[in-house]
Structure 1
C-alpha cells in the first residue's frame, strides 16, 4: 500500500511514517497544500491521509483535486477539530473516512487497510483474477494455489498492475509508485524493464497467462483479455 500523508505537525508526521513503514506501508509526506498539489498531480497513491488545518489553507480544498487526479485513491481525513460539521463537509466532498486526533496509530493503520480492502480489493483480503491470487496482508502471490517466489518490488509491481487492470501505466508512473520521492536519485528508468521481465517470466513459468502487455513508446498494462 502506498499513501500520501498531508500533515503539518512534524512529530506526528514522523510517528505516523515510522509506524506505517514498520508494517509495510510506503508513505510519502508533505506539510502544506501547495506541495500536496504537486504530489497529487504527479504521483499515484492508494490512500491520501489528509489533515484539515494546514498552514496555507484547508485540507478540505484538496479533496476535489484528489478525486479528479487520484481516481483509485481513498481519502482519510485526520483533524483535531471534532465538530460534526467538519466531518459532514469532508464526507460530502468525497472523503471516505474521518479520524479525530489524538488517535492510536494502530487504528489509523486498521482504517487504511479497511478502505483498501473495500475500494481496491472489492471487500476481500485477497485480490484474485483468474489463476492469480495476491494477498497484500502477507505479501504473498500465487498461481493456481502455488506460491510465487517474488522480490518485494516484483510483488508491489504485480499488485499495482492488478489494481489497475486494463489501464496503461507509463514507466514514470510505475517508478513513482514503487520508489516515490526517491525517483529524483535515479539516473534513468531502464531498470523497470528488468523488473517487469523478471515478473512476467515467473508468472508464466508458474503456468499463468502473460497478462502484462508492453504498450510500445508508452508503458505497460495488465491485459485481462490476454490469451495463452
Structure 2
C-alpha cells in the first residue's frame, strides 16, 4: 500500500517514514505546501498523512483540493493543532481521521490500517476473491488454504490488482503505486514484466481461480475467468 506523508518537521517525518517502511508500506514524502500540492495532483495514494501547518499554505486547503479533484485517497490529519474547529473542518472536508501530536507509532499504524481496510476492503483484514485469500496485516496469501510464497513486490502487485479487480491498471500506475518515488530511477518497465510473469506462474501452479490479463501496450487487469 502506498502512503504519502505531508509533514514539515524533519525529525517527525523521518520517524514516521522509518516506522511505516518497517510495516512494508511504500512511502513518499512532501515537506511544503507546493510539493504536496504537486504530488496529490499527479499521483494516487492509499493513505495521506497530512499536517495542517505547512510552509506555504494550510493542509486544510490541500484537503479542499483533493475534494475538487474528486480524489479517493484516504486522509488522516496528523497535527499538533488539536482545536475542535480544526478537527471539524478537516472531517467536513473529507478527512477520514484526526490524530493529534504527540502520538505513538503503534497508534499511527492502527489508524492507517483502519483507513485502508475501510477504503479498500470494506473493513476486513482478509480479502477473499474466488479461492484466493489475502491477509493484509500478515502479508500472506493462500489458494484453497495452501500458502502461496510471494516476495514483497509480488504481494504488493497482487494486492493492488485485487483492489482494482476487473479494472484496467496501466503499467505506469502500477509502477508508481508499488515502487513509489523509486520509479523515477527506472529506464523501462522490465521489472514489472518480471514480477507479473512470476506472479502469474505461482497463481497458475496453485490453481488460483483468478487470472492476470495483459492488455498489450497499456497494462494489466485481474479477472475471474
In the superposition, the TM-score normalised over structure 1's length comes to: 0.93
Q: Does 1:221 align with 2:221?
A: yes
CA–CA distance in structure 1, aligned partners of residues 37 and 57 of structure 2: 12
RMSD: 1.4
Unaligned ranges ≥5, structure 2 = none
Cα shift readout 1:18-75 (whole Å, capped 9, x = no counterpart): 111122222111111211122223322110000000011001111133343642x210
Partner of 2:22 in structure 1? 22
Between stretches 38-47 and 53-62, larger displacement belongs to: 38-47
In the comparison of the two structures, how many residue pairs are matched?
A: 224
Runs of 4+ aligned residues of structure 1 deviating over 6 Å after TM superposition are none
Whole-Å separation in 2 of the counterparts to 1:70 and 1:143: 33
Alpha carbons of structure 1 residues 32 and 194: separation in structure 2 relative to 1, 3 Å: same
2:11, 2:39 → 1: CA distance? 21
Cα deviation, residue 125, structure 1? 0.9
Look up the SS of the partner of 1:8 in the other structure: coil
Give the CA deviation at 1:102: 1.2
Contact 1:156 1:178 survives alignment (8 Å): yes
Q: Which has the higher contact order (CA 8 A, sep 6+)?
A: 2
Q: Which residue of 2 aligns with 1:91?
A: 91
Q: For the residues of structure 1 that align with 2:128 and 2:64, how far apart are their CA atoms? A: 31
- The answer on whether the counterparts of 2:3 and 2:49 sit within 8 Å (CA) in structure 1 is yes
Measured in 2, the distance between the counterparts of 1:211 and 1:64 equals: 38
Asked if residue 111 in structure 1 is aligned to residue 135 in structure 2, the reply is no
| Structure 2 match to 1:183 | 183
Q: Can you give the 5+ residue segments of structure 1 that lack an aligned partner in the other structure?
A: none
What is the DSSP-based 3-state SS (H/G/I as helix, E as strand, rest coil) of the residue aligned with 2:155?
helix
Q: Within 2, Cα distance between the matches of 1:35 and 1:187?
A: 24
Aligned-pair distance for 1:148?
0.5
8 Å contact kept, 1:128–1:134: yes
Matched, 1:147 2:147: yes
